[in-house]
A and B are shown apart, each in its own frame.
Chain A
């Protein structure tokens, strides 16, 4: 039984069947990639896992609990953090402040007032945040206004914000989309390091085969809302159905 179990999930947008009978099982402490051509329903599937969308039918279980009917912040509190396709950070805040917010969320829950104590006196959380920034090589940028950083740095910061929460499951939606090769390689290295160092399950949606084959322990191929095959990377590479799905797209 995996940490994440998706069973018979269907999702329609009007007449469009975005997801059809999706079954997916992600094993704890592995990296599971979901690939597929554009419009295959990858983002839709991810949005069903984090409470942004509610599937029409089917069930989504995480760590033995159903996530359906829970709001995004509740699902995060269960231990799922997500990285967006375009980095979502607190642009008006400094890098360090960006890091403090997830720290507070993890320690204090979805809503607890601490309106009088100063942020400056939270030494323990600050150290935690600084350690995380150091891990992603951003400690020197901690006083920077986060909106003024490069896209690669924003992505890095967003990942650090997710990781500082020690999530059980990290969801990544095309983390290297629109990135230069060098930035892509940096991101791969960072994710590899995370995978090796921590007890964490990663589910990654990715279009870039290079990224997928560098990271994934298992791969699910999605086409037109339905999983075609699921296997280890070596088997996926030469799989005729995969060739077909991808060639069909490029042709």
Chain B
């Protein structure tokens, strides 16, 4: 089925189930309970999980397979967003043409930037991509204001032409992005006791696209092309003397990952139709690097996990404040309570970056394969425990690879 091997097929099905049931899985705590703030099952955040998942999946095709570390991939995300918003303004509020144009435009930009940057490798390649992205950010922020909206960003206006939608469609309000009439912001709530689950059209639309993007990335990973990309990372010298030219393959990987970024940018604009230059800022490029490494570069599912983890922390940990902390530790004696809160305080709220930094360092040092390696080690541990209780003999330590 799907032309995948059994292991990959199971992974795809697992990811599909997780995304379909995400509104339940991410909302485990009843509404109004003390833990409810850890619920992540609201549309805005769920959309971000899958959109950044797409961004990281694409980035991983370049970085995870070829080892070329681009430090400017947010530029393609920005290009995708601008292209999509322009499509909403000029053509139609339907998201399909917006997404198509965004992917094409980001692909063209990636072709140009990749062609130039790939003349160098290693740190010089990274610096070149960074330089391009920062140039594009600067252009979008100031010089190209007529196209990008400059500091305020590119927004929809009531008098946009929207040729395909016809004049009457807006009826006094700025229309919202939709898929053939299904509005992206529409949601349905399901109330079960004190639990509330929200099903949002925009989320499911993005989720379907993420599943397609994930499926495509599995096919690429398992193809001769994917193997060639890993060979590029491993030994370019050998590749050259084996009759293969690494350049076009690397460029193809660069363009594909740029198009993934453009797709993610278009989806961001489809959920919330505005685009700003800050989306191309270097910190945004750095974020996708973190996501990929945190989850496990070169693994299939790692980038999605990394994206989910970072977005969760950004949105949930950052919302914890000192009042909430005092609430949690109220059971402690006063002096101790204050002490514990003082210790934890730097790591929450605006300090979530600190927590992220520490987790990132721990992962890089102890789990070079990212969260995926962590999962594999846990699984191996459980398997070993199980076999040792089954046959009653002490666990054998397997020789390290």
Contact = CB atoms under 8 A, between A and B. Distances in A.
Interface in A122-173: 122, 145, 148, 161, 165
Nearest to B229: A115
Contact of A148 (B233, B242, B401): B401
Interface stretch (A5-13, A69-77, A181-189): A69-77
A148 B400 CA distance: 11
Interface residues of A, number: 40
Given A88-B241, A101-B239, A115 B231 contact: no
Contacts of A82: 241
A197 interface: no
A113 B401 CA distance: 33
B219 A119 contact: no
Nearest to B216: A116
B238 A92 contact: no
B252 interface: yes
B235 A89 contact: yes
Interface stretch (A102-110, A207-215, A241-249): A102-110
A71 B236 CA distance: 13
A118 interface: yes
A36 B242 CA distance: 27
B327 interface: no
Interface in B1-43: 3-5
B245 A111 contact: yes
Nearest to B244: A105
Contacts of A161: 238, 242
B237 A88 contact: yes
A216 interface: no
Given A71-B240, A73-B245, A110-B244, A93 B223 contact: no
A117 interface: yes
B72 interface: no
Nearest to A121: B3
A91 B232 CA distance: 11
B222 interface: yes
B240 A104 contact: no
B225 A114 contact: yes
The 3 A-B pairs of least Cβ separation, nearest first, read A76-B243, A115-B225, A105-B243
26 contacts: A73-B239, A76-B240, A77-B243, A81-B241, A84-B241, A88-B238, A88-B241, A90-B231, A90-B234, A90-B239, A93-B227, A93-B231, A101-B228, A101-B231, A101-B242, A104-B227, A105-B244, A108-B224, A109-B243, A111-B244, A118-B3, A118-B219, A119-B224, A120-B222, A165-B242, A165-B243
Given A73-B244, A89-B235, 11 more contacts: A72-B240, A72-B241, A73-B239, A81-B242, A88-B241, A90-B238, A101-B227, A101-B228, A110-B244, A110-B245, A161-B242
Interface of A: 50, 71-73, 76-77, 81-82, 84, 88-93, 97, 100-102, 104-106, 108-111, 113-122, 145, 148, 161, 165
